[in-house]
Structure formats: structure tokens, C-alpha cells
Chain A
Amino acid sequence: MEWYALDSWIVLTGALCAIACALPGTFLVLRNMSMMGDAISHAVLPGLAIAFLLSGSRSSIWMFVGAAVVGLITALATQWISHWGKVDRNASMGIVFTTLFALGLLIIVQAADHVDLDPNCVLYGALELTPLDVVAEWTWFGLLIELPRAALVLAVVASINLLIICVFYKEMKVAAFDPDLSEAQGFRAGWMHYLLMAQVAVTTVAAFEAVGSIIVVAMLIVPPATALLLSKRLGMVLFLSATLGAAAALMGHLAAIHFPPLLGFNGTSTAGMMALATGFLFVLAWLKHLMFN
């Protein structure tokens, strides 16, 4: 078995991505809004595309601002359309996110000749390539450490998500469990809703380079759903979903580099295998749940 520094970075980046996603993802699942994660992760595309075109770089803070704004627009527009258009909330979500996603796709394809933003990369991510984009390097006990930008960005976003949940723990808990009580006590459940939506949007952007805008949904939803089968304590559920997501990153990368060669193929996509690993862990948790409940 060959293991390079590159592989460590890929696993670490994947794990940070999983942790960043699992924290807001847990609240999405608890609020029965799992598909809102799907909607927002797709809808942020025009925000990304526009921010990218304006700033001309993928590392720009404007990408996050653009995504957060479009993420909030998605949440607001979904609310408005279902309220004023008298359509079901899910239908309204379907209208908003497909429209925005299509708009984003058009902008990217139109601009593809001029800029370096590949639709495939946006959809599926390129986790294997992230270690090549180094943002800082230093020597530590004779070991050259090249910090990939994606790892840094995801570490920052994961920390922010953790901080938000620590600071607003009781507010998020009551807003998710009983929004009416929350409002009656003067804690605006709506604010917590939009904070969560902004968190999901920003997390999605940080994650899209690593795992793409489709697989990010797996990272948002599957580890929390798994954790909910294993624990009945909110704190434990949050911890478990982050841990399970990180474990899936390691399992996914090992599977991606070792499993296909056994069958005579080249190594495959780590992001894809990570999502598959989360599904595998879910099945295990579900079997345990069936056997012991």
C-alpha cells in the first residue's frame, strides 16, 4: 500500500468537509427540511457564477457572500411562493432551486470560454486535485507541509459552524423542536431558520469544490440521519454525525484507491466513494437499529 502526503490531505479535506456539512445538516434533518439542503446546494450556483465572473477567482470571499445571498434568496423565495402562490412547500422549493440552478448553469456555460470554471467540477467536485492548490507552506521538524486552500477553507467553515452551534445551541434546539414556543418566548424562530439557511449555503460553497454540489447533499443528510438512528441525545447526535462523516471520508478514499484496482480498474472518484461510504454506514446503523429496537 502506497500512502503519500497527498492522500493525507485528501482524507483530511474530505473529513473537514464532512464535519462542516454534518453540523448544519443535523438541524436540517431534525426540522424535516432535508431537501432544503439539496435545493440550496443547487441554487447557490448562480451566486457562485456571478461572484466568480465579477472577481475572476475561485478563492474569493465574494464567492461565499454570493452563495450566502442566493441561499437566503432561495429560502425566502420558497416561503413567498408557497405562501402567495398557494402551492405546496416542496413544489415551491422545486420551482425556486431548479430555476436558479439552470440560471447558474447557463452563466457558467456561457462564460466557460473565458473563465476557468468547469461545470463538471462544480457538479462532482475534484477532491483528488485539491492538494495541488497550495495556499501556504512551511517546514515542521524537517517535514514540508503544503496546506491546500480547500483544507484551509473547509477548516474555517467547519469551525464557524461549530461556533454558531455552540453559541446558539439552545436557540437552535428550541426553534427546531417547537418553533411556536420559541416565538412565544421571544426567540425569533425565523432568525434561526435563516441563520441555518445561510450556514447551509456557505457550507455548500466551501464543499462544492471538494465534493461537488450533488454529493454535498449526501454529506449534509446521510451522516445526521445515521446518527439519529444511533443516539437520542442532541449533543451526541451532532458529535456522531460529524465523526461518522469524517470516518466516511477515510473509508471513501481507501476504497477509491484500493478497491477498483482489485478488479483491474484505475482508482476512482474519492468524493463518490465517500458518499457511498456514508450510505454504507447508514445501512449498518439501520441494521443495528432493527436488531436492538
Chain B
Amino acid sequence: MTSLAHETIHATAHEHPADVPLAIHDLTVAYQRKPVLWDIDLNIPEGKLVALVGPNGAGKSTLLKACLGLIPLTSGKVLFYGQPLRKQRRQVAYVPQRESVDWDFPISALDVVTMGTYSQIGWLRPVRTKHRELARQALEQVGIADLAERQISQLSGGQQQRVFLARALVQEARFYLMDEPFAAVDAATEVAIVSLLKTLQTNGKTALVVHHDLATVTQYFDWVILLNSRIVASGPTQTVFTADNLRKTYGGNLSLLAEAGHALSQLGRPLS
């Protein structure tokens, strides 16, 4: 709310809501009366790669789930391209945290990716060859087409993450919500994910990515949201990703501040 850029976007959002991929108004979420997210007001502009950054327990995953209607909102509303999610499901793809599913489930990588086409197929209709073909192409895009028939427990962490990304790609959405896609992946996968994000951006897509590694924020993302139950700041990385804002976001967490200091020193903006 402190950022000027954010205010500007906010104002235009009300004039042309359909141009705004994700608009969140006065969102509050509470778990058993304990508020996790407070008065979230956000507008994410089209075609940006947006990092959602904040300490553990700041409500980053909760914010993603709240946007997707996976947890009840205490108050507020969420609009994708000016409309509620139920009218825009095809436009929104979700990449959950890798640990959120059981990787011993008896299905192949291709099966998982094919699940991304289910909303396209609709209730009760069967999966057809063309849907599997789309899934195969998505696996190709993330560079693991050769692993299509592998049972998912036999994939490495990075490969599992790529399967999840392929599943989001196959939906051919306009907006991508990703929950820590970079968590515990190998260097090759990290490079692959970054190039994938850039490709999405080139094609005019927008992505909101929960990100932990403060050192790479400026390198990978052009827009940043700093979250700690409330929005600390939101706007272009250049103006928002500052020592002052990071201190406000991370409070007294020294180790993380040190990490942030390191990240900022690389930018030539020392923390203190």
C-alpha cells in the first residue's frame, strides 16, 4: 500500500477490471478465529512475473489457496480478469507445493500431466488420445518427455516439479499460481523453470510465484509482493525490493535479514 506504483495500478484496476489478471479486494482469511491474512488489497498487472515473498507463516500459500477458493475467505473478494474464479477456471493454472501430494500414487508422469486437461474435458467425459498428446507435448516443453511412462515415485525431486509445471502448461491458462516451484530442485531444473517463466511472459502470460530465495528475486522477477500477514509492499522489483521494506517484512529475523542483506549487496544496495 505504501508503494506509489501500487496505488496507480490499483486506481486503473477499478476502471478496467478485465485487464487485471488478478485483483484482490479487502481479503481476510482466518484459521479458527486466528487471522492469517489481513486486509489484502492487490492488483497484479498483465504480463508480469511476480514474486510473492515473506517469512515462514506469512500466509503466502494461504493467499494462493484463498485466491483459488480452496480455503474459505473471512471477507473480501478475488477477481481473475474481472470475474470470479468460477467463470475463469480455464484461465487459471495452479502449481501446488510438491509435498502436497503422495508421490507413491500408482500413476505415471503422463497421467499426472493429463490431469491438467480435465477441466477442458469436463465432467464424466473420458480422456482421449488428443489430451494425452497435449500432455506429452507439455512434458516435452519441460524437457522430460522421455520419462512420460515412469511411475511418479521413480522421478527425482526436480523431475517431479517439472511434471507439476507441465500439468499447469497443458491447461493453456493465462494466469499461473505457483507455490514454491524452486524449493529443493537441482540447478538444471531451476534453469529450466526460469526459462519456462520467461517463455510464459513472452507469450503474454502472468505468473504469481511464491519464492523463498531472496538472492534471486531481482534476477527472476520484475514485480514483487512482500507479505507478512499484511501486504508490506507491492510493485516493480526495482522500487519495492528495498532494505527498508525487507526489514518491515522479516521483522527481527536475523538470519533472513542477513540473507536479504547479501541479496541487496549484490545489487549494490547494502542493508544498513
Q: Which residues of A contact B (CB under 8 A)?
A: 30, 32, 86, 167-171, 173-174, 176-178, 180-187, 228, 231-234, 236-237
Contact = CB atoms under 8 A, between A and B. Distances in A.
B35 interface: no
B118 interface: yes
B105 A176 contact: yes
Contacts of B69: 183-184
B106 A228 contact: yes
Size class of B's contact patch? 20 to 34
A119 to B, nearest CB: 38
Contacts of B32: 86
Given A170-B126, A177-B101, A180-B96, A186 B107 contact: no
Given A174-B118, A180-B70, A233 B126 contact: no
B162 to A, nearest CB: 16
Nearest to A236: B106
B124 interface: yes
B70 A184 contact: yes
B61 to A, nearest CB: 10
Nearest to A185: B119
B124 A168 contact: yes
Interface stretch (B86-94, B132-140, B230-238): B86-94
Closest CB pairs A-B (n = 5)? A185-B119, A232-B151, A184-B94, A184-B68, A232-B106
B89 A184 contact: yes
B262 interface: no
B272 interface: no
Given A86-B32, A178-B115, A233 B94 contact: no
Contacts of A228: 106
Contact of B106 (A170, A182, A237): A237
Query: Which of A176, A232, A236, A237 has the most chain B CB atoms inside 10 A of its CB?
Result: A232
Nearest to A84: B32
Contact of B118 (A32, A170, A234): A170
Contacts of B153: 232
B106 A231 contact: yes
Contacts of A231: 106
Interface string B90-110: 001010100011100111100
Contacts of A174: 115, 118
19 contacts: A86-B32, A168-B124, A170-B121, A173-B111, A173-B115, A176-B105, A177-B105, A177-B115, A178-B96, A178-B100, A180-B94, A181-B96, A183-B69, A186-B119, A187-B123, A228-B106, A232-B106, A232-B151, A234-B105
